[in-house]
Amino acid sequence: MNINLDYGNSKLEVDISDKNLLYIIENRSDEALPDPKEKLIESLKRPIGTLPLEEKIKDKSKVCIVISDITRAVPTKLILEALLPELLSYGVNKDSITILIATGLHRPNEGEELVRLVGKDIAENYNIVNHNAKDRENCRQIGETKGGTPIILNKVFLDSDFKILTGLIEPHFIAGFSGGRKAICPGISYIDMFRHFHGPKILESPNAPNAILFGNPFHEESTEIAKKAGVDFIVNVTINKNKEVTGIFSGDLERAFLAGAEFCLKANTYSISKEADIVVTSGGGFPLDINLYQAVKGMVGALPAVKKGGMIIIASLNAFSAPGGPIEITIALPPCSSFNWIPTSIAYRSRGFIMLSTPSLIIVPVFSSIFTLLVSGTCLIGIIMFNFSPSTVVFISLYNSSYKNMSYG
């Protein structure tokens, strides 16, 4: 059987023998909302768990709208095209609005990339700021969480008197679901905070996988951080496999987010009767396969479906770009010009995570006794996860010019 995997902005054809095919699992084809822009405007007037946006924003003079960066499949342009005119119609001055890009530890979105993210008109007419997690001067500490995490966030957000979060709700391999509070943590957090909420205590928790919120330490800590920072309103959406809007969840930080997560759970989880020897999957296409870190999410999503000792094969076009840029990833994976195996060992110690020299952060969950093969446009990477220590990861890179099609029989 021929199966097409999302791969960048195109498809990668995979030929699998029918006798070896156990399941084909994909996102359900949820219907797209008709006229999503109008539905977004309606959600601002009839929000979940709070007053209409027009009533809440009265007499506010400094508005911050947090948006996701280019690595997320959020329909940000659509959301802003609905939200911004409404704010202006409420009497909010355009010059009092700042759009803050929640980059986390990713690079800034500028130039043509920014235009692609928000649209030309918004890029040229609104004040847009990229969060920089390494810039301590532009962040301020407002306390600590109950778990001892310092809360150090972007000053633009903290200094605003009305704060709106936008985002996409989908299963997330640490947070349970993305969206809601995640725009703040890690979106606009200072780098020191990552040692805590991306540290081993949270990453190794059995309650911190895809689609789990109850008892999830990341969800609980990030929600605590968001509440202490102050969030006045959220505008979150869900999408289908064609990246069309299927649900809109605007309103209270917690209640609107939980409504969206419940909706998303029904659309994105499946029951299987047995595990497979080999799982072939995708990073999700652009922008979900923009770098190795994002590709890891596809690997984690496949884990429950593969036997111990089995194999995950994932196609991810741009998996050789690090969150902060290609220079940083080459520190972890040295380039080569031949078919030589080059191992680079990365050990996760008790202090938390690996910082590359720039610095940048790469998080790689440990897949015990599973061989993972990652196919990208420029290289083939075998990632072998061993059992012999709590968290030793060995990367082995194997360059090849291209992998247009894959066949397994």
Catalytic residue of the set 106, 131, 198, 219: 106
> Rounded CA gap, 291 and 320, in Å?
6
pLDDT band at 330 (very low <50, low <70, confident <90, very high): very low
pLDDT reading at 36 higher than 80: yes
Query: Which residue's entry shows tokens 């929640």?
Result: 102
Most confident of 282-291, 312-321, 376-385: 282-291
Q: Token pair for residue 268?
A: 């994105």
Spatial contact of 102 and 68, defined as CB atoms under 8 Å apart: yes
Which of 272 and 360 is assigned the larger pLDDT? 272
Q: What DSSP assignment string belongs to 287-338?
A: TTTSSHHHHHHHHHHHGGGEEEEEEEEEE-TTTTS-TT-HHHHHHHS---SS
Q: Token pair for residue 165?
A: 């979060």
Most confident of 121-130, 319-328, 396-405: 121-130
pLDDT for the residue 324: 42
pLDDT reading at 236 higher than 60: yes
**Which of 33, 75, 351, 126 is CA-nearest to residue 236?**
75
pLDDT reading at 348 higher than 80: no
pLDDT band at 364 (very low <50, low <70, confident <90, very high): very low
Burial of 150 (0-12, 13-18, 19+ CB in 10 A): middle
196 counts as catalytic: no
pLDDT for the residue 292: 67
pLDDT for the residue 367: 44
Which of 16 and 402 is assigned the larger pLDDT? 16
pLDDT reading at 377 higher than 80: no
106 counts as catalytic: yes
Domain ranges of the chain: 2-25+273-408, 36-268
pLDDT for the residue 328: 32
357: phi then psi, degrees, rounded to nearest 5? -70, -15
pLDDT reading at 363 higher than 60: no
Amino acid occupying residue 373: L
pLDDT for the residue 168: 95
Q: What is the mean pLDDT of the chain?
A: 77
pLDDT band at 345 (very low <50, low <70, confident <90, very high): very low
Dump pLDDT digits (tens) for 45-67.
999 999 999 999 999 999 999 99
SS3 339: coil
Q: What integer is the mean pLDDT of 283-303? A: 73
Q: What integer is the mean pLDDT of 200-216? A: 80
Statement: 2-25+273-408 belongs to CATH 1.10.3470: no
Spatial contact of 321 and 383, defined as CB atoms under 8 Å apart: no
pLDDT reading at 228 higher than 80: yes
Q: What integer is the mean pLDDT of 137-160? A: 96
pLDDT reading at 360 higher than 70: no
Q: What integer is the mean pLDDT of 56-80? A: 93
Q: What integer is the mean pLDDT of 387-408? A: 31
187: number of Cβ within 10 Å: 28
pLDDT for the residue 221: 93
Topology match between the domains 2-25+273-408 and 36-268: no
pLDDT for the residue 293: 65
Q: What integer is the mean pLDDT of 286-313? A: 75
378: phi then psi, degrees, rounded to nearest 5? -120, -15
What is the pairing mode between strands 127-130 and 171-172?
unpaired
pLDDT reading at 362 higher than 60: no
pLDDT reading at 223 higher than 90: yes
- Cα pseudo-dihedral 270, 273, 279, 283, rounded to 10: 10
SS3 244: coil
Q: Measured between alpha carbons, how far is residue 298 from residues 68, 74, 132, 282, 370 in Å?
A: 19, 17, 26, 6, 14
Helix ranges (DSSP H) in 174-309: 194-197, 200-203, 217-229, 253-268, 292-302
Catalytic residue of the set 131, 172, 198, 219: 172
Which of 400 and 56 is assigned the larger pLDDT? 56
pLDDT reading at 399 higher than 80: no
Sheet strand arrangement including 63-68: 127-130, 97-102, 63-68, 162-168, 233-239, 245-251
41: phi then psi, degrees, rounded to nearest 5? -60, -40
Q: Measured between alpha carbons, how far is residue 143 from residues 140, 147, 153 in Å?
A: 9, 11, 10
179: number of Cβ within 10 Å: 27
Packing angle, helices 76-89 and 111-118, rounded to 10:
70
- Percent over 90 (pLDDT), the chain: 45
Packing angle, helices 76-89 and 36-45, rounded to 10:
50
Class (C level, CATH) for 36-268 = alpha beta
Query: Which residue's entry shows tokens 């990339």?
Result: 113
Which of 38 and 194 is assigned the larger pLDDT? 38
Amino acid occupying residue 101: I
